[in-house]
Structure 1
Amino acid sequence: MQCVFAYLGTVAFALIINVPRRALNLGGWAGATGWMVYWVLFKVGCSIVLANLLGAFAIGIAAIVFARWRKIPVIVFTIPGLVPLVPGGTAYEAVRMFVEGQTDAGIGYLVRVIMVAGAIAVGFMLAQLFGDLTKRRIRLR
Protein backbone atom coordinates (compact mmCIF):
# COMPACT_ATOMS: atom_id res chain seq x y z
CA MET A 1 0.00 0.00 0.00
CA GLN A 2 2.86 2.37 0.87
CA CYS A 3 4.52 1.75 -2.49
CA VAL A 4 1.30 2.28 -4.46
CA PHE A 5 0.52 5.61 -2.83
CA ALA A 6 4.12 6.82 -3.15
CA TYR A 7 4.00 5.96 -6.86
CA LEU A 8 0.63 7.68 -7.35
CA GLY A 9 1.69 10.79 -5.43
CA THR A 10 4.86 11.08 -7.44
CA VAL A 11 3.08 10.66 -10.78
CA ALA A 12 0.38 13.15 -9.77
CA PHE A 13 2.98 15.77 -8.89
CA ALA A 14 4.87 15.02 -12.11
CA LEU A 15 1.68 15.69 -14.07
CA ILE A 16 1.22 19.01 -12.28
CA ILE A 17 4.73 20.20 -13.19
CA ASN A 18 4.43 18.98 -16.81
CA VAL A 19 6.96 16.17 -16.82
CA PRO A 20 7.05 14.58 -20.30
CA ARG A 21 4.59 11.69 -20.61
CA ARG A 22 7.34 9.22 -21.50
CA ALA A 23 8.99 9.90 -18.13
CA LEU A 24 5.92 9.64 -15.88
CA ASN A 25 6.11 5.91 -15.15
CA LEU A 26 9.81 5.91 -14.37
CA GLY A 27 9.45 9.08 -12.30
CA GLY A 28 6.78 7.33 -10.27
CA TRP A 29 9.06 4.38 -9.72
CA ALA A 30 11.90 6.66 -8.61
CA GLY A 31 9.64 8.23 -5.99
CA ALA A 32 8.24 4.88 -4.87
CA THR A 33 11.75 3.44 -4.57
CA GLY A 34 12.93 6.33 -2.41
CA TRP A 35 9.84 6.16 -0.22
CA MET A 36 10.18 2.40 0.29
CA VAL A 37 13.83 2.77 1.32
CA TYR A 38 12.82 5.52 3.76
CA TRP A 39 9.83 3.62 5.13
CA VAL A 40 11.65 0.31 5.66
CA LEU A 41 14.61 1.99 7.36
CA PHE A 42 12.33 4.05 9.60
CA LYS A 43 10.31 0.97 10.56
CA VAL A 44 13.44 -1.01 11.52
CA GLY A 45 14.54 1.77 13.86
CA CYS A 46 16.81 4.08 11.88
CA SER A 47 16.62 7.77 12.61
CA ILE A 48 14.39 9.90 10.42
CA VAL A 49 17.43 11.81 9.15
CA LEU A 50 19.35 8.69 8.05
CA ALA A 51 16.22 7.20 6.51
CA ASN A 52 15.63 10.38 4.49
CA LEU A 53 19.27 10.56 3.43
CA LEU A 54 19.26 6.99 2.13
CA GLY A 55 15.81 7.45 0.56
CA ALA A 56 17.07 10.52 -1.31
CA PHE A 57 20.19 8.59 -2.32
CA ALA A 58 17.97 5.82 -3.74
CA ILE A 59 15.90 8.38 -5.68
CA GLY A 60 19.07 9.97 -7.01
CA ILE A 61 20.54 6.65 -8.18
CA ALA A 62 17.24 5.61 -9.77
CA ALA A 63 16.98 9.00 -11.48
CA ILE A 64 20.51 8.72 -12.88
CA VAL A 65 19.86 5.22 -14.20
CA PHE A 66 16.51 6.22 -15.73
CA ALA A 67 17.96 9.41 -17.23
CA ARG A 68 20.79 7.54 -18.92
CA TRP A 69 18.40 4.88 -20.18
CA ARG A 70 15.78 7.29 -21.59
CA LYS A 71 18.25 10.09 -22.45
CA ILE A 72 16.28 12.62 -20.42
CA PRO A 73 17.75 15.10 -17.89
CA VAL A 74 18.08 13.70 -14.37
CA ILE A 75 16.05 16.53 -12.84
CA VAL A 76 12.94 15.24 -14.63
CA PHE A 77 13.04 12.24 -12.28
CA THR A 78 14.50 13.78 -9.11
CA ILE A 79 12.04 16.64 -8.57
CA PRO A 80 8.86 14.51 -8.66
CA GLY A 81 10.67 11.67 -6.88
CA LEU A 82 11.45 13.99 -4.00
CA VAL A 83 7.79 14.67 -3.20
CA PRO A 84 7.15 11.66 -0.91
CA LEU A 85 10.14 12.59 1.28
CA VAL A 86 9.33 16.29 1.75
CA PRO A 87 8.64 17.00 5.45
CA GLY A 88 5.52 19.06 4.75
CA GLY A 89 3.57 17.87 7.77
CA THR A 90 6.43 18.69 10.11
CA ALA A 91 6.83 22.14 8.55
CA TYR A 92 3.10 22.74 9.02
CA GLU A 93 3.36 21.75 12.68
CA ALA A 94 6.30 24.14 13.15
CA VAL A 95 4.34 27.06 11.73
CA ARG A 96 1.26 26.12 13.75
CA MET A 97 3.29 26.02 16.97
CA PHE A 98 4.77 29.46 16.28
CA VAL A 99 1.33 30.90 15.53
CA GLU A 100 -0.08 29.43 18.75
CA GLY A 101 2.78 30.97 20.72
CA GLN A 102 4.50 27.69 21.59
CA THR A 103 7.94 28.85 20.52
CA ASP A 104 9.94 26.00 22.08
CA ALA A 105 7.88 23.31 20.32
CA GLY A 106 8.01 25.32 17.09
CA ILE A 107 11.79 25.49 17.23
CA GLY A 108 11.94 21.72 17.79
CA TYR A 109 9.82 21.09 14.70
CA LEU A 110 11.80 23.64 12.70
CA VAL A 111 15.10 21.94 13.59
CA ARG A 112 13.65 18.60 12.47
CA VAL A 113 12.54 20.13 9.13
CA ILE A 114 16.00 21.63 8.56
CA MET A 115 17.74 18.35 9.41
CA VAL A 116 15.49 16.32 7.10
CA ALA A 117 15.85 18.85 4.26
CA GLY A 118 19.62 18.79 4.71
CA ALA A 119 19.64 15.00 4.70
CA ILE A 120 17.66 14.95 1.44
CA ALA A 121 20.11 17.42 -0.13
CA VAL A 122 23.12 15.38 1.01
CA GLY A 123 21.50 12.18 -0.29
CA PHE A 124 21.04 13.72 -3.73
CA MET A 125 24.58 15.07 -3.67
CA LEU A 126 26.01 11.64 -2.81
CA ALA A 127 23.96 10.03 -5.58
CA GLN A 128 25.26 12.59 -8.07
CA LEU A 129 28.83 11.95 -6.92
CA PHE A 130 28.29 8.20 -7.26
CA GLY A 131 26.83 8.72 -10.74
CA ASP A 132 29.78 10.88 -11.82
CA LEU A 133 32.28 8.32 -10.54
CA THR A 134 30.61 5.46 -12.37
CA LYS A 135 30.36 7.52 -15.56
CA ARG A 136 34.09 8.28 -15.46
CA ARG A 137 34.90 4.64 -14.77
CA ILE A 138 32.85 3.55 -17.78
CA ARG A 139 34.60 6.11 -20.02
CA LEU A 140 38.05 4.94 -18.94
CA ARG A 141 37.40 1.40 -20.13
Structure 2
Amino acid sequence: MSLWTEVIINLAFAWLASVGFGLTINVPHRALILCGVSGSAGWIVYWSVNQIGVGRLGANFLGALCVGVLDIIFARIKNCPVIIFNIPGIVPLVPGVPAYQAVRAMVEGQLSNAEDLILRVIIVTVGIAMGFMLAQSIGEIFFKMRRKRKNKRNLV
Protein backbone atom coordinates (compact mmCIF):
# COMPACT_ATOMS: atom_id res chain seq x y z
CA MET A 1 0.00 0.00 0.00
CA SER A 2 1.38 3.43 -0.91
CA LEU A 3 2.06 6.12 1.65
CA TRP A 4 -0.68 8.41 0.35
CA THR A 5 -3.25 5.64 0.54
CA GLU A 6 -2.30 4.99 4.16
CA VAL A 7 -2.54 8.71 4.97
CA ILE A 8 -5.98 9.02 3.37
CA ILE A 9 -7.28 5.91 5.13
CA ASN A 10 -5.93 7.16 8.48
CA LEU A 11 -7.45 10.61 7.93
CA ALA A 12 -10.83 9.20 6.94
CA PHE A 13 -11.16 6.77 9.83
CA ALA A 14 -9.91 9.26 12.42
CA TRP A 15 -12.42 11.81 11.10
CA LEU A 16 -15.22 9.24 11.24
CA ALA A 17 -14.29 8.19 14.79
CA SER A 18 -14.27 11.79 16.01
CA VAL A 19 -17.51 12.76 14.30
CA GLY A 20 -19.19 9.51 15.33
CA PHE A 21 -18.25 10.03 18.96
CA GLY A 22 -19.34 13.66 18.67
CA LEU A 23 -22.77 12.50 17.50
CA THR A 24 -22.92 10.04 20.38
CA ILE A 25 -22.30 12.72 23.01
CA ASN A 26 -24.58 15.29 21.29
CA VAL A 27 -22.04 17.82 20.07
CA PRO A 28 -23.82 20.70 18.29
CA HIS A 29 -24.10 20.00 14.58
CA ARG A 30 -22.34 23.25 13.69
CA ALA A 31 -19.20 21.94 15.44
CA LEU A 32 -19.15 18.36 14.14
CA ILE A 33 -17.02 18.93 11.05
CA LEU A 34 -14.36 20.76 13.06
CA CYS A 35 -14.43 17.97 15.67
CA GLY A 36 -13.55 15.58 12.85
CA VAL A 37 -10.82 17.88 11.59
CA SER A 38 -9.37 18.12 15.10
CA GLY A 39 -9.41 14.36 15.62
CA SER A 40 -7.95 13.54 12.22
CA ALA A 41 -5.21 16.19 12.57
CA GLY A 42 -4.24 14.83 15.98
CA TRP A 43 -4.20 11.28 14.68
CA ILE A 44 -2.08 12.17 11.63
CA VAL A 45 0.44 13.93 13.87
CA TYR A 46 0.50 10.86 16.15
CA TRP A 47 0.79 8.45 13.22
CA SER A 48 3.52 10.49 11.48
CA VAL A 49 5.60 10.89 14.62
CA ASN A 50 5.17 7.19 15.37
CA GLN A 51 6.34 6.32 11.82
CA ILE A 52 9.46 8.42 12.35
CA GLY A 53 10.35 6.30 15.36
CA VAL A 54 9.51 8.50 18.34
CA GLY A 55 8.03 6.51 21.23
CA ARG A 56 4.41 6.33 22.31
CA LEU A 57 4.77 9.07 24.91
CA GLY A 58 6.15 11.59 22.42
CA ALA A 59 3.71 10.67 19.69
CA ASN A 60 0.69 10.95 21.98
CA PHE A 61 2.04 14.17 23.47
CA LEU A 62 2.40 15.82 20.06
CA GLY A 63 -0.95 14.47 18.85
CA ALA A 64 -2.73 15.80 21.95
CA LEU A 65 -0.88 19.11 21.65
CA CYS A 66 -2.12 19.43 18.06
CA VAL A 67 -5.69 18.58 19.12
CA GLY A 68 -5.54 21.02 22.04
CA VAL A 69 -4.27 23.96 19.99
CA LEU A 70 -6.76 23.32 17.19
CA ASP A 71 -9.60 23.02 19.70
CA ILE A 72 -8.80 26.41 21.21
CA ILE A 73 -8.83 27.95 17.71
CA PHE A 74 -12.04 26.15 16.71
CA ALA A 75 -13.75 27.18 19.95
CA ARG A 76 -13.01 30.81 19.12
CA ILE A 77 -14.24 30.39 15.55
CA LYS A 78 -17.50 28.65 16.47
CA ASN A 79 -18.00 30.52 19.77
CA CYS A 80 -18.35 27.25 21.72
CA PRO A 81 -16.65 25.88 24.83
CA VAL A 82 -13.33 24.16 24.12
CA ILE A 83 -14.53 20.90 25.70
CA ILE A 84 -16.97 20.43 22.80
CA PHE A 85 -13.99 19.94 20.51
CA ASN A 86 -11.59 18.32 23.03
CA ILE A 87 -13.56 15.18 23.80
CA PRO A 88 -14.34 14.01 20.24
CA GLY A 89 -10.95 15.22 19.00
CA ILE A 90 -9.01 13.05 21.43
CA VAL A 91 -10.98 9.84 20.73
CA PRO A 92 -8.57 8.51 18.06
CA LEU A 93 -5.66 8.80 20.52
CA VAL A 94 -7.34 7.00 23.44
CA PRO A 95 -5.67 3.63 24.14
CA GLY A 96 -8.80 1.47 24.09
CA VAL A 97 -7.30 -1.80 22.87
CA PRO A 98 -4.42 -1.94 25.39
CA ALA A 99 -6.85 -1.08 28.21
CA TYR A 100 -9.17 -3.89 27.14
CA GLN A 101 -6.26 -6.30 26.81
CA ALA A 102 -4.99 -5.34 30.28
CA VAL A 103 -8.35 -6.07 31.88
CA ARG A 104 -8.63 -9.32 29.95
CA ALA A 105 -5.12 -10.38 31.03
CA MET A 106 -5.98 -9.63 34.67
CA VAL A 107 -9.16 -11.71 34.47
CA GLU A 108 -7.24 -14.60 32.91
CA GLY A 109 -4.59 -14.42 35.65
CA GLN A 110 -1.72 -13.25 33.40
CA LEU A 111 -0.55 -10.57 35.81
CA SER A 112 2.84 -10.00 34.17
CA ASN A 113 1.24 -9.31 30.81
CA ALA A 114 -1.42 -7.14 32.49
CA GLU A 115 1.26 -5.02 34.18
CA ASP A 116 2.95 -4.35 30.84
CA LEU A 117 -0.32 -3.36 29.23
CA ILE A 118 -1.34 -1.13 32.15
CA LEU A 119 2.03 0.61 31.93
CA ARG A 120 1.43 1.19 28.20
CA VAL A 121 -1.99 2.72 28.96
CA ILE A 122 -0.49 4.95 31.66
CA ILE A 123 2.25 6.17 29.32
CA VAL A 124 -0.27 7.05 26.62
CA THR A 125 -2.55 8.77 29.15
CA VAL A 126 0.31 10.84 30.56
CA GLY A 127 1.32 11.89 27.05
CA ILE A 128 -2.23 13.00 26.24
CA ALA A 129 -2.57 14.89 29.52
CA MET A 130 0.76 16.68 29.05
CA GLY A 131 -0.19 17.66 25.49
CA PHE A 132 -3.50 19.12 26.63
CA MET A 133 -1.88 21.00 29.51
CA LEU A 134 0.73 22.55 27.23
CA ALA A 135 -1.90 23.49 24.63
CA GLN A 136 -3.99 25.18 27.32
CA SER A 137 -0.93 27.08 28.57
CA ILE A 138 -0.02 28.17 25.04
CA GLY A 139 -3.58 29.38 24.47
CA GLU A 140 -3.67 31.35 27.72
CA ILE A 141 -0.30 32.99 27.05
CA PHE A 142 -1.24 33.86 23.46
CA PHE A 143 -4.58 35.45 24.35
CA LYS A 144 -3.10 37.27 27.36
CA MET A 145 -0.42 38.82 25.14
CA ARG A 146 -3.05 39.67 22.55
CA ARG A 147 -5.20 41.44 25.17
CA LYS A 148 -2.20 43.41 26.41
CA ARG A 149 -1.38 44.52 22.87
CA LYS A 150 -4.99 45.61 22.30
CA ASN A 151 -5.04 47.54 25.57
CA LYS A 152 -1.81 49.34 24.65
CA ARG A 153 -3.26 50.36 21.27
CA ASN A 154 -6.45 51.63 22.90
CA LEU A 155 -4.48 53.74 25.39
CA VAL A 156 -2.42 55.45 22.69
TM-score, normalised to structure 2, is 0.89
> What corresponds to 1:103 in structure 2?
111
Are 2:33 and 1:25 equivalent residues in the alignment? yes
Structure 1: which 4+ aligned runs deviate by more than 6 Å? none
Identity score, percent: 49
Whole-Å separation in 2 of the counterparts to 1:99 and 1:23: 40
> What corresponds to 1:122 in structure 2?
130
Return the index of the structure with the highest Cα Rg: 2
Q: Which amino acid aligns with 1:137?
A: M
Question: The residue matched to 1:36 in structure 2 has which SS?
Answer: helix
> What corresponds to 2:62 in structure 1?
54
Q: Which amino acid aligns with 1:103?
A: L
CA RMSD of aligned residues (A): 0.6
Equivalent pairs counted in the alignment come to 141
> What corresponds to 1:94 in structure 2?
102
Question: The residue matched to 1:39 in structure 2 has which SS?
Answer: helix
> What corresponds to 1:82 in structure 2?
90
Q: Which amino acid aligns with 2:44?
A: M
Whole-Å separation in 1 of the counterparts to 2:103 and 2:57: 20
TM-score, normalised to structure 1, is 0.98
Question: The residue matched to 1:101 in structure 2 has which SS?
Answer: coil
Please list the CA deviations of residues 66-95 of structure 1 after superposition, one character each: whole Å capped at 9, or x if unmatched: 011111110000000010000000001111
Q: Which amino acid aligns with 1:4?
A: A
Are 2:142 and 1:134 equivalent residues in the alignment? yes
Contact residue 45 and residue 63 of structure 2 kept, 8 A = yes
> What corresponds to 2:4 in structure 1?
none
Shift in Å, 1:115: 1.3
Whole-Å separation in 2 of the counterparts to 1:88 and 1:119: 15
Shift in Å, 1:96: 1.2
Please list the CA deviations of residues 25-79 of structure 1 after superposition, one character each: whole Å capped at 9, or x if unmatched: 0011000000000000001101011100110000000000001111111000000
Q: Which amino acid aligns with 1:87?
A: P
